[in-house]
Structure 1
Amino acid sequence: MSSHDSSQRGSGSAFLPFILIGVILLGLLLFSGFYLVEPGKATIHLRLGTIIKTNTSAGLYFKIPLVDSITTFDLRIQMATIETNALSKDLQGVSVGMVVNYRIQDAAALYQNIGTEFEKIIINPFVQESVKAVVAKFDAESLIQKRHEAKERVIDELTTRLSSKHIQLVDFNFTHLDFSEDFIKAVESKQIAEQDAKRAENQTKQVREEATQARARAEAEAFALKVKRESLTPELIKLKEVEAQIKAIEKWDGHLPQITGSTIPLMPLLDKHAEIKK
């Protein structure tokens, strides 16, 4: 009797590990039937490959283990960094860096039409095509000066193209527009030449202005001399001669000069001086 009980206990102990493993597997299976939807995300609930519902509200949801599957999409603003090469209108090579901010509008439609590799399949090619098309409308120098205008054109084109694929364009920015070293040197040389030409033009204007001023001064002086000459009437000349003689008399010390030969008619001068004093 005791040996029979011992054999039963031994056989029961042999199955115990299998029972524990079964319980653990059942627990894992039941646990895998639940999934969590985080805030700002959407889940596509698939049953045997068919979409049965889309969950966009945060919370805990149930799915049939081994039958249902879940695909998650981030509905928040996402960023894609893209690099490409383009040609300007004057056939200058441009290395372009871009940052694209976007948001998924309809996760179910996006998954059904494109899948989860939408950034590689849609966003990257669309952005490169739009940027190359816009860059080709500007020559190299204009592209540098009108960078903001080029950006706005890319945004207009991308907004329409991505919207048709259930993706909202939030923002687009150039991170860099790099040209070849030869082109950069050519631009610098042109800028230096333009600065030199502007400096020479300013100097020429200054010389012309100084010449104009000098001419104006000369004309004014000539006009003044002309007026002065025209104002010298015979009466004024005679009066100036008399004033000069009077000044000579006023300086006379009363002694007649010792002169041999003909006499100097001094009396008429004295008479004129007396008349003027009266």
Structure 2
Amino acid sequence: MAQILAGIGRLGLGIALAGGVVNSALYNVDGGHRAVIFDRFSGVKPNVVGEGTHFLIPWVQKPIIFDVRSRPRNVPVVTGSKDLQNVNITLRILFRPVPENLPKMYSSLGVDYDERVLPSITNEVLKAVVAQFDAGELITQREIVSQRVSEDLTERAAQFGLLLDDISLTHLTFGREFTAAVEMKQVAQQDAEKARFLVEKAEQLKKAAIITAEGDSQAAAMLASAFGKAGEALVELRRLEAAEEIAAVLSRSRNVIYLPPNQNALLQIPS
């Protein structure tokens, strides 16, 4: 009985050991990932393992899992423009590795390849591209700058086995001196616009005054011409109007004596 129990115990131990060996010989590669196998005797295997469950030799081989999905990264860079202005630029990059290049990438760069590659090549490309534009052009021609950075950076990243799905300039500012100069320029432009408006307003007022004066002059000339042609008739008309007004006033007054015209009459007032 004791021998049977000992045999069962050895069998259970063997099964447990076998299960542990089998379990250690299996590994999983999740969706959107790839694996590279490191062998203790032969080094990094050239084959890339896809998604699913796979076998390896326990204690001899080790899987290194890579994420091959697009991932974002912000890279800030301080550089100089063509007119020697300090420029602060932040570049947002969506990157992923080329799966076929993972063994070589792991051998030369390691798992943190993005930390080793992206900051250096981004800094290099941005300095080269930004130096071709002055500060004003970086603002007015931002799309052209972004396109050149995208083309050069994509070509540079391909040398390290990286694919760049999207590149965008998310932040672009200048030094304090340049910012202050831009603000002063804007204020000066606003003052110039205000002064031009005042000058145009004065010109319009001047033209209005000239037109008014010309109108008054023409009116005076027309009146003078009218007086010259019919001066006596106008004077007679005014005399008759005045006489009519005087007669109306006298008719409403008391103690008024009317004398016939063209006769000499003596008004005797008793003493």
SS in 2 for 1:171: strand
Q: Does residue 84 of structure 1 match 2:69?
A: no
Which residue is equivalent to 1:204? 199
Identity of aligned residues (%): 28
Aligned residue pairs total 246
1:44 aligns with 2:36: yes
* Aligned match of 1:54: 48
| Mapping of residues 120-159 of structure 1, within 5 Å | 120-159=115-154
Specify the alignment match of 2:231 in structure 1. 237
Residue 245 of structure 1 deviates from its aligned partner by: 3.0
Structure 1 equivalent of residue 20 of structure 2:
28
SS of match in other structure, 2:35 = strand
Native 8 Å contact 2:91 2:171 kept in 1: yes
User: Distance in 1 between the 2:185 and 2:259 partners?
Assistant: 87
Over residues 110-164 of structure 1, what are the superposed CA-to-partner deviations in whole Å (9 max), with x where a residue is unaligned? 4325543431343222211121122212222443444444323312322333345
Question: CA 1:153–1:220 in structure 2 vs 1: closer, same or farther (change >3 Å)?
Answer: farther
Match of 2:219 in 1: 224
Matched, 1:64 2:43: no
Q: 1:107 aligns with which of 93, 99, 103?
A: 99
Q: Within 2, Cα distance between the matches of 1:137 and 1:155?
A: 15
RMSD: 3.5
**1:208 aligned partner, one-letter code:** E
Counterpart of 1:51, as a letter, is K
- 1:71, CA displacement in angstroms? 2.4
Tell me how far apart the structure 1 counterparts of residues 154 and 46 of structure 2 sit (CA, whole Å).
30
Distance 2:131 2:260 in 1: 105
CA contact (8 A) 2:47 2:103 kept: no
Aligned 8 A contact 1:33 1:64 in 2:
yes
Aligned-pair CA distance for 1:240: 1.0
* C-alpha displacement of 1:201: 2.0
Unaligned runs of 5+ in 2: 252-257, 262-271
Q: Normalising to structure 2: TM-score of the pair? A: 0.74
Q: Is the 8 A contact 2:48 2:103 kept in 1?
A: no
Q: In structure 1, what is the Cα distance between the partners aligned to 2:88 and 2:54?
A: 47
Q: Aligned with 1:168: secondary structure? A: strand
- DSSP-derived class of the 1:89 partner: coil
* 1:230 Cα deviation after fit: 3.3
Q: Residues 46 and 52 of structure 1 are in contact (CA less than 8 Å); yes or no, is this contact kept in structure 2?
A: no
Of the three residues 213, 218, 242, the one matched with 2:208 is: 213
Preserved CA contact (<8 Å) 2:93 2:167: yes
For residues 9-39 of structure 1, the C-alpha deviation after alignment (integer angstroms, 9 at most, x for no partner) is xxx8xxx89x95x876554332221110101
In the TM superposition, 1:5-24 aligns within 5 A as 20=13
Q: Displacement of 1:40 after TM fit?
A: 0.9
Q: How high is the TM-score relative to the length of structure 1? A: 0.73
Task: Please name the residue that 2:254 is paired with.
Answer: none
